Amino acid sequence: MSVRKSATASVRRVATLASTTARPTTERERERRRIAITCLPFFVLATVAGFVPLAMLARISLAEDTVWMTGWSLEAWRTLATTAEYRWVAWNTLWFVGLATLVSVALGVAVTHVLEKYDLPAERVVVAAVSFPIALPGIIVAYLIVVLLGRQGLVTNAVAVATGQSALDLASATAISGLLLGYVYSLLPRATMVLRGTYAEVNTQAEEAARALGASRWETFYHVTLPEIRPGIVAAAILTFRSGLAIFGTVLILQSHRVVTLQIHEETSVGSYHPDVAAAIGLVYVVFIVAFTFVGLRFVENDTVGI
C-alpha cells in the first residue's frame, strides 16, 4: 500500500471513530463516548497549557528574529549541540539529581518501613513532619538551609562553638552539600508518599511466616518485603527524579551547582538574553522527561527492575 493510500485510510478511520463516538449506536461506542467526555477537560487543559506552549517553544528555538518571531534559523540548536558548556550542565543535572533521588528514595524506604511496621508515639506528628516539605516552595527550602547552614546559621555556629573552628569555614549552605540537603528535604516526602501506598499492599502473612521460620528482621526485609515493594521503589525513583529536575527556587538562591533550570533562567536573563537557546533547552528537557517517564513506567508495569 502506498503512503498516500495509507494516509487516506488512517484519516478515514479517525473520521469514522469520531463519528461513532459522537453518535454511538452500540454499547462499546457509548462507553467510548463516556470516556471521551470524561477526558475532555484534560485534553483541553493539555492543549492550552501544554501543546500550545511547546509549539511556541519550538517556533522560538527556530526563529531568526526571536523578538518578532520572523525567519527561520538552526543557530540555537547548533549552539546547543556544539557548546561544551551545555553538555557540562546536562551532565551536572543528571548526576546531581540522580544522587538526590538515590538518597531520597533510600531514606524514604527507611522512613516508610518504620512508619508502617512499628507503633510510634505521636505517629501523626511524625507523618506531618515528613510530609510537610512537599508544601514548601523551593525558595523557602533554600532559606531554611541558609538559616541552618549559612555563616550565621544555627547549626554552623553551634558546631563552631563546640569545635572552636571559624563559622566562615564551616558554613555549607551555598556549598553543593547544602544544595543536596535542600533537594533531599524537598524530594523525601514525594518518595515516602509513593512508598506508603506500596507498603499497604505488602503480604504481611509472608513476613510473619519468614519470622516464624527464624529469619531476622533484616533477612525478612531483604528476602520478603523488598521484592514486594520494588515496583514502589521504582515509581518513587521516577517521581522524585522528575521532581528533582524541575526544582528551581532552591538552586536559584543557593546557586552552588549549575543545573538545567538555572541555565534556562540565565539564558532568559538580562545581559545574556538568548531565548532561542532557552527554548531549545526547554524542548530537550520535555522530550527527555517524557521518554524517561514512559521507559520508567514500563519497568513498573512489568515489575522487572532490580534495584
Poorest-pLDDT segment among 27-36, 105-114, 154-163, 298-307: 298-307
Three cell numbers written together for 60:
522560538
DSSP per-residue string spanning 111-177:
HHHHHHHS--TTHHHHHHHHHGGGGS-HHHHHHHHHHHHSTT-HHHHHHHHHH---HHHH--TTSHH
Q: Indicate the fold that domain 84-304 takes in CATH.
A: MetI-like fold (1.10.3720)
pLDDT digits (tens, 9 = 90+) for 220-242: 999 999 999 998 999 999 999 99
Q: Helix 176-199 to helix 226-246 angle, to the nearest 10 degrees?
A: 140
Q: How far apart, in whole angstroms, are the C-alpha atoms of residue 131 and residue 135?
A: 8
pTM metric for this prediction: 0.84
pLDDT at 263: 94
DSSP code for 72:
-
Highest-confidence range of 16-30, 62-76, 82-96, by mean pLDDT?
Answer: 82-96
Residue boundaries of the structural domains of the chain:
2-46, 84-304
Place of cell 527492575: 305
* Average pLDDT of span 208-227: 92
Is the model more confident about 103 or about 135? 103
Report residue 301's pLDDT band, with 50, 70 and 90 as the boundaries.
Answer: low
Report residue 267's pLDDT band, with 50, 70 and 90 as the boundaries.
Answer: very high
pLDDT at 25: 83
Nearest partner of 168 among 180, 148, 153, judged by Cα: 153
Report residue 306's pLDDT band, with 50, 70 and 90 as the boundaries.
Answer: very low
222: β partners: none
